[in-house]
Every structure is written in C-alpha cells, then in structure tokens.
Structure 1
Amino acid sequence: MNGWLLAAGITAFGVAATHIIAGHRDVVRPLLSCALSDEPKRVLHAVWHMVSVDLVLSAAALVYLALAGGTSASGPMAWFVAAHFLAYSVAFLVVTFAVGWSKPLLRLPQWILLLPVAVLAAAGAA
C-alpha cells in the first residue's frame, strides 16, 4: 500500500465533498438565481457538475492506486492526477491575482484545498 497516495485520495475526497456541499450553497444557488441569460447559466451549472464528477473520480483513482500496489501504470497515473490538481490550483491563483483584489490568496481559497492533493500524489508517485 502507498500511504502517500492513500492520503492524497482521502484528501481529494474531502475536496470533492467540500466542492459539492459548499459549492452548491455558495456558487450554484447564486448562479441559478442571477440575471445571467439561461444558456450561459446552464453551461456553468453543467461545468460545476463536471468538476464534481472529476474530483470524485480523481479521488477514487488515487485510493485505487494506493491500495492496488505498484503496477506499471501506477506512477504515470499518479503523476497525471498530481499535475491535474496542480493545474487546478494554478488556475485559481492566476484568476485571483488577475482581478487585483486585496488579500487575494484568501478571496478564492480553493487552491489551498487543491494543492495538498497535488503534493501528496506527487510524493506517492515518486
């Protein structure tokens, strides 16, 4: 068993749960009640659900890799998931800094949840 990948998978499930619960309350509800026209509103709603699925499947993949033992595909797959979560973190940081907010690191704190998964998955892949 790979403890790093197991920790990454458990953390990723926590990220997915936070996304689904808090994201529905803080993002989806306001989005669906705003004055944005229906097509972009529904596209953004669908994208939110796509991210939900992506986070859950990534977490499941990490747990599977942790418990399945080292196969020839374990390392590349773990690196892929690590890169995936790192890219999500970078996307949130770029968007946050592009806006020019004061205290930008705390305005969109999602990167704080995503980055540990990337680090743990990378440690497990190495």
Structure 2
Amino acid sequence: MNGWLLTAGGIGAATTVIHILAGGRSIVRPLLGSEVAVEPKRTLHVVWHMVTADLLLSSGALLALAFAAAPSTALVLFIAAQFFAYAAVFLIVTLTADWRRPLLQLPQWMLLLPVAILALIGSR
C-alpha cells in the first residue's frame, strides 16, 4: 500500500464531498436562482457537475492506485498535475481579485494543493 496516494485520495474524496454539499448549497443553488441568462446558467451548471465527476474519478483513481501492486506513475503524475493546475487557477483568481483577505475568499486551493503534493510524492 502507498500511504501517500491513500492520503491524497482521501483528501480528494473529502474535497469531493465538500464540493457536493457545501458548494451545491452556496454556489449552485444561488446560480440557478439568479437572473443570469439561461444558456450561461445551464453551461455553468454542467461545468459544476463536470468538476464533481472529475473530483470523484480522480480521487477514486488515487485510492485504487494506493492499493495497486505497481501503480501507474503516468496516471498518478497526470492527476497530480490536474490538482496543481486547479490549485493554481484558484490562487491566481483569488490573488488578482480586489478582496481584503483573498486567500480565504476562495479557499479551495487549500484542499487541492495537498492532493497534488501528496500524489507527486507518492508517484516515486
């Protein structure tokens, strides 16, 4: 068993649950009840569910790879790169916004970055 990948997958799974429960309540419901035009609203709704699927599949893959006899290094590195990219996007958007405490306004990077780092370490 690879403890690094197990931990990365566990944090990824927890992130997925938070995304579904908290994000659904604080992001999706207000979006769907907003006055945004129908096409962009539904497009953002689809993107929300695409992210849910990606988080779920990536976390599941990390958990499965943690127990694999010979985990695919390429797959682990791909998932790590995804989570690094997601964390970077959140950090860039957050740090370029005109917010008083930007790193806490969109804290998702705090869950995404550890998954990336742990997966990277676990790929060795």
Q: TM-score, normalised by structure 2?
A: 0.97
Q: Aligned letter for 1:93? A: L
Query: Using the alignment, how far apart are the partners of 1:22 and 1:69 within structure 2?
Result: 35
Instruction: Tell me what 1:19 maps to.
Output: 19
Instruction: Tell me what 2:120 maps to.
Output: 122
Deviations for 1:6-39, whole angstroms, at most 9, x for unmatched residues? 1111111000000010010000000001110000
Report the more deviating stretch, 22-31 or 96-105.
Answer: 96-105
Q: Aligned letter for 1:104? A: P
Query: Using the alignment, how far apart are the partners of 1:94 and 1:100 within structure 2?
Result: 12
Q: Aligned letter for 2:77? A: W
Q: Give me the CA root mean square deviation.
A: 0.8
- The number of equivalent residue pairs is 124
Question: Does the 8 Å contact 1:2/1:69 carry over to 2?
Answer: no
The structure where helix makes up a greater share of residues is 1
Q: CA deviation at 1:90?
A: 0.3
Q: CA deviation at 1:100?
A: 2.0
Query: Using the alignment, how far apart are the partners of 1:32 and 1:105 within structure 2?
Result: 26
Unaligned regions of 5+ residues in structure 1, if any? none
Q: Runs (4+) of structure 1 moved beyond 4 Å?
A: none
